[in-house]
Structure 1
Amino acid sequence: MPSEPISWSPVSEAELPELSGLLTAIEHFDEPSERHTIEELQEAYAEHGADPARNARLGRDSGGTLVAYGWLHPFPADTDPRRVFLAGGVHPGWRRRGIGHELLDWQIARAGEWYNENRRPEHGPLELRIAVEDKLADRAALIADRGFSAVRWFADMTCRFDELPSGLPAVPELPGIRIEPYSAEVSEEVREAHNEAFSDHWGSQPIPQIRWQEDLSAASTRPEWSWIAVDTDSGRIAGYAMSSAYQQDWEFQGFREGWTDRLGVRRDWRNRGIAKALLIASMHSFADAGLDAAGLGVDTDNPSGAFGLYARLGYERGETQVMYARTEHGS
């Protein structure tokens, strides 16, 4: 148990800058590849179904200093399973006092409450998920101690433009396919294309309109760097590449990088070079914006040969994120 009692309270919007300060201290010590921004915290606080008054809490010492936090991020539109992602952390100076276990126990219990409050006959089991960078062994040990198991590995990959021996390749011309910039007018068509393209991917469930729009309005999103592939005969969107800029990471990684958040090709148009063309178009957008590199994340168990495609384009593997999960069946 903690050597000094910790008082817990819900997170208010006014406390988000203070929470940002705690996260900065945690990141300074742990040196993760992904950093936070205050804008991301504000977006998480306001997103549909967030309910931070019940799903997030802060821990303070006897002097009122913020030393820990926990935040549940449910996906209300999920059916089977019902996913809840757990985020949290303890200030480095307050670790190894039992606070992390206490916090995780609360998160597990609160997730069960959320599941039972919102349960419908068509719903499958509750699945709790926590993403942990591979190098953070203490964090992994803590969650494994509460019954979480590693279920998937996701690798970050980066292509440095100055390391391409022949420079950026030209966007290939594809028979029957037109590569064109993304525009807000096709947002709903791209969402439908994404849900179809990822229907056979591990852990994926359809993204509802409200979450899609929230993602597109995020401060990190860069629609001007995003592209679509259009079938010239039917006019349907065959594929897409949606981009972002995580500027908070640039100083620590030493280069400026455009990030491909979502890349997908509908099943009927696969194996025609569309993903490659979309990635190259995105890389040109990043380079034209004065960036140094392109990045993306890939499921290491992806059966589509994605690793080979990315490697041929000059992407190299970096940090690995491990997804841990624990399944609950409700009460």
Structure 2
Amino acid sequence: MSTPPSPVAGLRWRPITAHDVPAWHELVQAIEAADDPAERYTPEDLHDELLDGSWKDPSRDSTIGVDDDGVPRAFGHVQVLPGDVRTMRAFCWGGVHPQWRGQGVGRELLAWQERLGREKIAAARSTGPGRVLVHVDDGLTATERLLHRAGFRRLRVYLELTRPLGGDVPTPALREGLRLVPYDASLSERIRLAHNEAFADHWGSEPRDPENWARQSVGGRYFRPTWSFAVLDGEEVAGYSLTSAYEQDWTAQGYSAGWTDLLGVRRPWRRAGVATALLAATMRALREDGIERADLGVDVENPNRALDLYTGLGYRESRRSLAYGKDV
């Protein structure tokens, strides 16, 4: 597998271990304080990023740069998710302590991530293309310059939208024959299959396999079944909404919110009011629990004009993030 990053600025590199999580979390907090990202990480999150999943191998997929005192100053992580079939994607995540920037550490770390991403894609794919991906919060111009110099190009813009719940919440009617039901674990597999079908025409989306679904969607610690719903036509899932509570983000953003991770409608049931009914049900459930806002994200180039739907329901842009990639 890929050689570790070169020893830039006196840093020594090694894989991240579970024992590193407390010190790694301190590094991540320093990076978050400087960059103000949309997503904040707890120690439990870092542990899961490193180890939660049979496809993960931290000795291969991670690196941490420590100074002469053994204090972490930079880190990198690369993963290829199981289930990718159309495009094998290598997701790169990492960061450099603010006081250690401008010394070539980020450049060397990105080069390591690209090397490892290429190797993982080559080992995993059969015939499809591959892509190394980096997601960046809008406004981190130094990171964007680094990516441009390394040959990455901006591929997508994502909006984060927020909708206050203090006023009226819509009460839409579903088409005859459809019924809205609360999420139940017995629906999980049917919703997974519905999701894979609904997102088959979305850029950058790949099927979720059962393990990934169980660990990172309906089985995650942040998932809230009482804020999640499905629309059924008989026993078929026509659409679904899965919402989570990322409470560690609430202080930084200044309000409590339910974040709708996944919202999808299968093609035969589009334009039948399914998405509107799901979002309205989510809003009502959030408000009943004293939550201040409903939040979600959307690809600006979503082919189904999802942004028009959301803004029509009162959602407004709060921030942006960017996807950079390099096809390999």
Shorter-chain TM-score range? over 0.9
Which residue does 2:99 correspond to in 1? 93
Which residue does 1:319 correspond to in 2? 319
Which residue does 1:148 correspond to in 2? 152
Q: Counterpart of 1:4 in 2: which secondary structure?
A: helix
Which residue does 2:178 correspond to in 1? 177
Deviations 1:200-232, CA, capped at 9 Å, x for gaps: 11111111111000112211111221000001x
TM-score of the superposition, structure 2-length normalised? 0.94
Partners of 2:53 and 2:108 in 1: CA distance: 26
Runs of 4+ aligned residues of structure 1 deviating over 4 Å after TM superposition are none
Equivalent runs, 1:149-168 vs 2, <5 Å:
149-162=153-166, 164=167, 167-168=168-169
Residues matched between the structures, number: 321
Matched, 1:186 2:190: no
How many Å apart are 1:296 and its aligned residue?
0.3
Distance 1:3 1:272, change over 3 A: closer
Equivalent runs, 1:15-34 vs 2, <5 Å:
15-34=20-39
Which residue does 2:3 correspond to in 1? none
Partners of 1:269 and 1:5 in 2: CA distance: 58
Give aligned-pair identity as a percent. Answer: 39
Equivalent runs, 1:74-153 vs 2, <5 Å:
74-120=80-126, 123-153=127-157
Q: Counterpart of 2:9 in 1: which secondary structure?
A: coil
Partners of 2:83 and 2:58 in 1: CA distance: 17
Partners of 1:191 and 1:6 in 2: CA distance: 43
Which residue does 1:246 correspond to in 2? 246
TM-score of the superposition, structure 1-length normalised? 0.94
CA RMSD of aligned residues (A): 1.4
How many Å apart are 1:173 and its aligned residue?
4.0
Which residue does 1:201 correspond to in 2? 202
Runs of 5+ consecutive residues of structure 1 not aligned to the other structure: none
Deviations 1:27-47, CA, capped at 9 Å, x for gaps: 001112221122221222222
- Asked whether the 8 Å contact 2:8–2:105 carries over to 1, the reply is no
More divergent stretch after superposition (220-229 vs 271-280) = 220-229
Which residue does 1:68 correspond to in 2? 74
Which among 218, 221, 243 is matched to residue 220 of structure 2? Answer: 218
- Asked whether the 8 Å contact 1:4–1:62 carries over to 2, the reply is no
- Asked whether the 8 Å contact 1:259–1:294 carries over to 2, the reply is yes
Partners of 2:306 and 2:32 in 1: CA distance: 30
Matched, 1:7 2:8: no
Runs of 5+ consecutive residues of structure 2 not aligned to the other structure: 1-5
- Asked whether the 8 Å contact 2:12–2:67 carries over to 1, the reply is yes
Deviations 1:77-104, CA, capped at 9 Å, x for gaps: 2123210100000000000000001111
- Asked whether the 8 Å contact 1:75–1:83 carries over to 2, the reply is yes
Partners of 1:109 and 1:119 in 2: CA distance: 16
Distance 1:89 1:267, change over 3 A: same
